Structure 1
Amino acid sequence: MSKSTHILVIRLSAMGDVAMVVPILRILAQTYPEVKIAVLSRPFFKPLFTGIPNLEFLEADVYGKHKRLGLIKLAKEAKALGVDAVADLHNVIRSKIISEFLKLKGLKVASIDKGRAEKKALVTANGNSIAQLKTTHQRYADVFEKLGFPLDLSKYPTPPPLRLIPKLNALMGVEPKKLIGIAPFAAHDSKMYPLDLMKEVIANLDASEKYRIFLFGGGKKEIAQLKKLENPFSNVTTVAGKLTFEEELALISNLDLMLSMDSGNGHLAAIYGIPVITLWGVTHPFAGFTPFNQPESHQLVADRKKYPLIPTSIYGNKFPKGYDEAIKTISPEAVVLKIRAVLS
């Protein structure tokens, strides 16, 4: 391929999966500064890619003008940008339609290998020993290698914290306290630390007067639950529903630590090199969804001796009766000890 390659990168959803693309594109832009990048994703995710050199963003309105046959229109929009290669990091029907159309126009196409066979073996291990699978980040990088652009994931140019507007400075306060983000929700209850146990974690941290804690989430139900969680504590603030996505990213980029489930907020923090502690219920870090550059010691997993069938599924949507309780085997004391150790 010529040095002037202009790559269309497709990843439409979900937030965590799109966030995991960001470190790969930062490495690509640094390693191959002559390459142009066009990211095709949902408009909401556009702020994630701010500051990456030679990158333009193509908005996919998959429920509106780009629905069904509108995907061909979207492919034509991409072609009009001058792209000459496609990195399909999603490999679903929508991305395949776009990729195949562009392939017919003579563009080179490479798609992600999601490793379905290995993942199936992982979730059907039935209590036998399990091993780390290739990470999603490496699977993304492999796609660019197929296009002729090998990437070294150890060469990540961590972006600086984003600028804080007065509104965010006011939230953070003037006292010199460590800033902790907590994102207690996940797509499935089986991946979520029970709120009564999370309250114990927060109570312990709050009592020390050493930390300022921000609670992240979204949607009316979650916001109501977070406000209830916040109420008893003087050092805790719910930011859900109060900030734009850009403002949330700016706050996250200035944290000292993020405590997250196996969900999107951990991946957002990892983009900025923030230490992320992840709590795992019926899913497991060996499936390859650990936040970028986070060590194994930051992954607190449910007790596999008591719940030997973990991981019961890749996404946490399937599990045997009683396994939704598995995450409770991570004690609040263990979570607090890990937070204190990382912040010290």
Structure 2
Amino acid sequence: MDKKGKDTHILVIRLSAMGDVAMTVPVLGEVVANYSKIKLTVLTKKQFVPLFSELKNTSVYVADIKNRHKGLLGLWRLYRELKILQIDYVADLHNVLRSQILKKYFTLGRIPFVQLDKGRAEKKALTRTSNKILKQLRPTHQRYADVFENLGFPIDISQAKPMGRLPLSQKTLDFVEQDSKKWIGIAPFAAFVGKTYPLHLMEEVIKELSNTDRYKIILFGGGVGEIKKLETLETKFKDVISVAGKLNLAEELELISNLDLMVSMDSGNAHLAANYGIQVLTLWGVTHPYAGFYPFNQPAENALLSDRAKYPWIPTSVYGNKFPKGYEKAMETITPLKVLKKINEILCH
């Protein structure tokens, strides 16, 4: 590894959705904590750069996959740019067509290149409706760690420590004034309807939390439609603040790192909070923690699952994008009362 005193430079590839990218953070943190001579360059999208700002010996190279690095020619251009960085190893934590093409280029340059094992066959067995094999699959965090082990850099992610609380900037403080109330983050949306808690039920949860006068509720989301819905909730109840569309990701991370609890779907905000050691309550629809996407280092009892007695085919998909007819209301089996009870259990523990 230590080549005449020089750093070992590992390129880490992970594009995709925010949650998948966020899940790399505790793994990369443990790599640089264990190997002082390792330098990491993360190839990812521009909007995800703030996720890695607290990691030592780690920089980000932005993949412009919609323009400069689009298509075969663009990927060749990207490879040529990366080659200048003198990469020693490549950890592909994505394993999609785009990174497979990059693998061919790096292999020509005789650069060791190890790809993520996604476990597609076992995930298919977990989500099929007949002959379902309902068992815990290898967690995604461990799959990421396996890539580094296969490159010759084993780590024990059970030893990974969360990132520290971030100082709040003046802009963030202007939105959320510091006080003695406990701060609860709520991220009520997800990429797919199959794993999104019905908004009218989440509104009941928010109403009851607001009525206690003990909490400040901070709403997270993105996109024009989500922003409007969250702003409506903000106007209905006291001590409810929507930061959707008002703060950038770096500022949201400041806020998330200072929460007492994050309530989230099986989605990106759960992983962002977990990276800072914040307690996370997750609500699960037609997806399931067994697929391996449970937030890092969170207790199993912090997951509220839809009723499999009524909806036995759950999980019907890994990502929540597929569900049989009649499963549209599966998440309604997680009542607002159950959510409120679990919130109180976590915060009063």
The TM-score bracket by the shorter chain reads over 0.9
Aligned to 2:20: 17
Q: Kindly tell me: are residues 127 and 193 of structure 1, through their superposed partners in 2, closer, same or farther at Cα, counting changes over 3 Å?
A: farther
1:60 aligns with 2:91: no
User: Does the 8 Å CA contact 2:176/2:241 hold for their aligned counterparts?
Assistant: no
Deviation at 1:5, TM superposition (A): 2.1
Deviation at 1:174, TM superposition (A): 3.8
Partner Cα distance (2:135, 2:68) in 1:
44
1:270 to 274, 288, 292: 274
Deviation at 1:245, TM superposition (A): 1.1
Aligned to 1:233: 237
Partner Cα distance (1:94, 1:128) in 2:
31
Partner Cα distance (2:259, 2:113) in 1:
38
Partner Cα distance (2:100, 2:178) in 1:
50
User: Does the 8 Å CA contact 1:132/1:286 hold for their aligned counterparts?
Assistant: yes
1:141 to 145, 153, 160: 145
Partner Cα distance (2:35, 2:168) in 1:
30
1:325 aligns with 2:317: no
2:41 to 38, 42, 52: 38
Aligned to 1:279: 283
Deviation at 1:126, TM superposition (A): 3.8
Aligned to 1:93: 97
What RMSD over aligned residues (CA atoms) do the two structures have, in Å?
Answer: 1.2
Deviation at 1:129, TM superposition (A): 6.3
Partner Cα distance (2:178, 2:228) in 1:
27
Partner Cα distance (2:228, 2:54) in 1:
34
Partner Cα distance (2:225, 2:122) in 1:
36
Deviation at 1:128, TM superposition (A): 5.6
1:256 to 254, 260, 266: 260
User: Does the 8 Å CA contact 2:41/2:58 hold for their aligned counterparts?
Assistant: yes
User: Does the 8 Å CA contact 1:281/1:324 hold for their aligned counterparts?
Assistant: no
Alignment: residue pair count:
344
Q: Which amino acid aligns with 1:15?
A: M
Per-residue CA shift, 1:77-96, capped at 9, x if unaligned? Answer: 21211111100010001111
Q: Which amino acid aligns with 1:301?
A: L
Partner Cα distance (1:60, 1:293) in 2:
29
Deviation at 1:167, TM superposition (A): 2.3
2:8 to 5, 9, 12: 5
Aligned to 2:185: 181
Q: Which amino acid aligns with 1:61?
A: D
SS at structure 2 position matched to 1:151: coil
Q: Which amino acid aligns with 2:96?
A: V
Deviation at 1:232, TM superposition (A): 1.5
User: Does the 8 Å CA contact 2:126/2:132 hold for their aligned counterparts?
Assistant: no
SS at structure 2 position matched to 1:310: coil
SS at structure 2 position matched to 1:324: coil
Paired-residue identity, %: 56
Aligned to 2:51: 48
Partner Cα distance (1:23, 1:113) in 2:
18
Alignment of 1:90-169 (within 5 A): 90-124=94-128, 126=130, 130-169=134-173
1:213 to 217, 220, 224: 217
1:27 aligns with 2:38: no
Per-residue CA shift, 1:243-271, capped at 9, x if unaligned? Answer: 01111111111111100001111111111
SS at structure 1 position matched to 2:159: coil
Partner Cα distance (1:242, 1:341) in 2:
31
Deviation at 1:127, TM superposition (A): 7.9
Q: Structure 1: where are the runs of 5+ without partners?
A: none
Partner Cα distance (2:231, 2:188) in 1:
13
SS at structure 2 position matched to 1:231: helix
Q: Which moved more, 1:153-162 or 1:331-340?
A: 153-162
Deviation at 1:336, TM superposition (A): 0.7
Deviation at 1:72, TM superposition (A): 1.2
User: Does the 8 Å CA contact 2:182/2:214 hold for their aligned counterparts?
Assistant: yes
SS at structure 1 position matched to 2:236: coil
Aligned to 1:303: 307
Partner Cα distance (2:135, 2:294) in 1:
14
User: Does the 8 Å CA contact 1:127/1:309 hold for their aligned counterparts?
Assistant: no
SS at structure 1 position matched to 2:158: coil
User: Does the 8 Å CA contact 1:91/1:111 hold for their aligned counterparts?
Assistant: yes
Q: Which amino acid aligns with 1:318?
A: K
Q: Which amino acid aligns with 1:47?
A: P
Partner Cα distance (2:78, 2:133) in 1:
45
Deviation at 1:170, TM superposition (A): 3.0
